[in-house]
Structure 1
Amino acid sequence: MALPLMHLFAAILNSYTLWYDQKYINVKFSEGLDNYPFRNRVLFLTMWNLALQAVYMTIAFLNDLVGTNAASPKKPPAIRKIKDALFSLAYPLAVYVSLAFWGIYYVDKELIFPEHLEKAFPPWVNHVMHTLVSVFINIEMFTSHIKYPSNFINLSLIHVFVVSYIVWIFIVYGQSGVWVYPVLGFLNWPARLFFISGSIVVANILNILGKTLNKQLSFVKVKSK
């Protein structure tokens, strides 16, 4: 019973935070970054991730109701297959967002969360977006039976998502002459490309770590029954 409640709570909290952000948070962006959908939030990986986490937790809750949480179901329903495939993307992305945000924040918060943004976002919203996403998805990892999809599906989901976002920030830069994240503006082109390539590598490493951890935990969960 605890797991469905966690899924429901996380789905509601993430969805409410998306709504609250659109309804109540007013942010002044750099000139050129003020004419994009969803009050310019579509610019940020944090918001892409939060929307993904809300969708994942909603599907996980639906799977609790009409699917199955068995360790290795012989004929898993479609909702379970979708849930497990989506987890393989949601896990590394949530962990990446938390690590990247708080890592850069620790070095120099002006590079990732300038003072005018920090003042605009209530602390609880900031932590839902950048902290709790990792907490919830790790609770899921340690408590749920996850059957990762094939390597092709897993890697396709991750690279389509990551490459789509990278192409998007280059499109925005081409349109506005402004980088979505200030840290990119402080780098020259070789360092910038290295930073972006390094981010892709980190995402893949987190994916491998997630798959490895899930494999080890699956053995422990089955053995403990």
Structure 2
Amino acid sequence: MSRALFHLSVVTINTFVMWYDQTYITFPFPVKEMEGFPLKSRSMFLTIWCLILQTVYHFVAFLNDVFGTDARSPKKRPAIRQIKDTLFALVFPTAIYVSVAFWGIYFTDKELIFPERIEKLYHPALNHVMHTTVTVFIIIELFTSYRNYPSRNIGYLMTFSLYISYILWFFVIYAKTGAWVYPVFEPLNWPMRFVFIALSLVVASGLYILGEKVNNYVCKTRRQVYTNGTTNGTAKSKKKS
């Protein structure tokens, strides 16, 4: 029950923030051509892609809590559990990357990622839901539930399909508007822009592997509590002499 309440709470918080943003915040874009894209042009930002993805994941996890199973190795995984496990492999690196990239650039020079004219529109709580709690929530999820990662090939295909799709969208917006979505790209020349993107993909790849390794360790060493009160785990017990 507590896990279901956690997932439902995350869905509620994220949905409220997206609703508030769409309803009450008018974004000051640097050029008029940036207006008119989907979601009040918020679709330009990886942050929103991540927030939507997080919300979908936690909703699927909630459905799994109600209709599926969180057992470590069920005899037959329900479809909703398979979807949840696969989605986690995509959600984890995306959430960590968004938080690390945003706050790393913010504390270096916030004008390059969150200019004052934009920051003043957002209450700090809204900003943290978009850029901080996505990581907090997914780390909590990592250590409190079981999951089976997809194969590395499937995981990479899924993850990089999302990232490449965003990068293509990113350049489509530049081609249509003549302006960069993120100010950090303005002072860079073209070679450095591609280096920035390549390094971002390398970091994302590393975060994917990190999530996979930590997940496998956590799921291997955690004890599972059964309904009769007994426990089972893979940690080796000491042999009696």
| TM-score normalised by L of structure 1 | 0.98
1:172-187 aligned at under 5 Å gives the runs 172-187=173-188
Task: Kindly indicate whether the alpha-carbon contact (under 8 Å) linking 1:71 and 1:222 is maintained by their aligned counterparts in 2.
Answer: no
1:155-187 per-residue CA deviation (whole Å, 9 max, x = no partner) reads 111010000000000111111111100001110
Q: How many residue pairs align between the two structures?
A: 225
Q: What does residue 34 of structure 2 align with? A: 33
Unmatched 5+ stretches in structure 1: none
Q: What is the rounded CA distance, in whole Å, between the counterparts of 2:193 and 2:125 in structure 1?
A: 31
Deviation for aligned residue 1:15? 1.1
Q: What does residue 227 of structure 2 align with? A: none
Deviation for aligned residue 1:222? 3.7
Q: What is the rounded CA distance, in whole Å, between the counterparts of 2:186 and 2:75 in structure 1?
A: 51
1:192 maps to 2:162: no
Q: What is the rounded CA distance, in whole Å, between the counterparts of 1:174 and 1:117 in structure 2?
A: 23
Q: What does residue 219 of structure 2 align with? A: 218
User: One-letter code of the match for 1:76?
Assistant: R
More helix by share: 1
Q: What does residue 12 of structure 2 align with? A: 12
Q: What is the rounded CA distance, in whole Å, between the counterparts of 1:62 and 1:16 in structure 2?
A: 19
1:198-209 aligned at under 5 Å gives the runs 198-209=199-210
Could you say which structure has the greater relative contact order, defined with CA pairs below 8 angstroms and 6 or more residues apart? 1
Deviation for aligned residue 1:122? 1.2
1:57-100 per-residue CA deviation (whole Å, 9 max, x = no partner) reads 00000000000000011210000000000000000000000000
RMSD value over aligned CA atoms? 1.0
Q: What does residue 150 of structure 1 align with? A: 151
Task: Kindly indicate whether the alpha-carbon contact (under 8 Å) linking 1:145 and 1:218 is maintained by their aligned counterparts in 2.
Answer: yes
Bigger drift between 215-224 and 3-12 goes to 215-224
Larger Rg: 2
Q: What is the rounded CA distance, in whole Å, between the counterparts of 2:100 and 2:50 in structure 1?
A: 13
User: Residue 161 of structure 1: SS of its match in structure 2?
Assistant: helix
What is the percentage of aligned positions where both structures have the same residue? 51
Q: What is the rounded CA distance, in whole Å, between the counterparts of 2:18 and 2:154 in structure 1?
A: 28
Q: What does residue 56 of structure 2 align with? A: 55
Unmatched 5+ stretches in structure 2: 225-230, 233-241
